[in-house]
């Protein structure tokens, strides 16, 4: 499993590429492994606004349907239509090509961890 060091992570297993300006949001490699085969993703429309910790979509696998929680407050600038069209691609690359939404961060997030802290957080679960 890989976890890019320059990303920040939530305890709900979403990642964030930046805490200011524009940022990409996705789901960690750990979460994808736990979900199994991803078969559907429901994401918001461009222009929608969310507060840190709010549900912004769902991800469905052969095992379950899980809510996606936004790791920072912001307005949706773009949705990764390639991942929506081919959700199974998240198993191959949950980071670079596997981002879910791009947001304009409106408030600095309070509940994100750096990579080292996230790995420690999930260590008991591995």
Model pLDDT, residue 2: 84
CA distance 104 to 126: 33
Each residue's pLDDT tens digit, 63-85? 899 999 999 999 999 999 999 99
Q: What one-character-per-residue DSSP string does 60-109 give?
A: EESS-EEEEE-SS-EEEEEE-HHHHH-GGGGGT-SSSS---EEEEE-S--
Q: State the average pLDDT over residues 4-31.
A: 95
Domains along the sequence of the chain with CATH: 12-123 (2.40.50.100)
Mean pLDDT of the residues in the chain: 95
pTM of the model: 0.94
């Amino acid at each position: 499993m890989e976890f890019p060091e320059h990303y920040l992570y939530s305890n709900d297993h979403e990642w964030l590429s930046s805490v200011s300006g524009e940022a990409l949001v996705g789901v960690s490699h750990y979460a994808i492994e736990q979900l199994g085969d991803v078969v559907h993703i429901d994401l918001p429309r461009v222009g929608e606004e969310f507060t840190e910790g709010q549900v912004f979509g769902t991800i469905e696998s052969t095992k379950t349907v899980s809510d996606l929680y936004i790791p920072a407050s912001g307005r949706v600038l773009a949705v990764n239509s390639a991942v929506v069209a081919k959700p199974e691609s998240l198993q191959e690359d949950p980071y670079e090509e596997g981002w879910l939404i791009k947001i304009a961060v409106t408030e600095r997030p309070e509940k994100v961890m750096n990579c080292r802290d996230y790995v420690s957080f999930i260590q008991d679960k591995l």
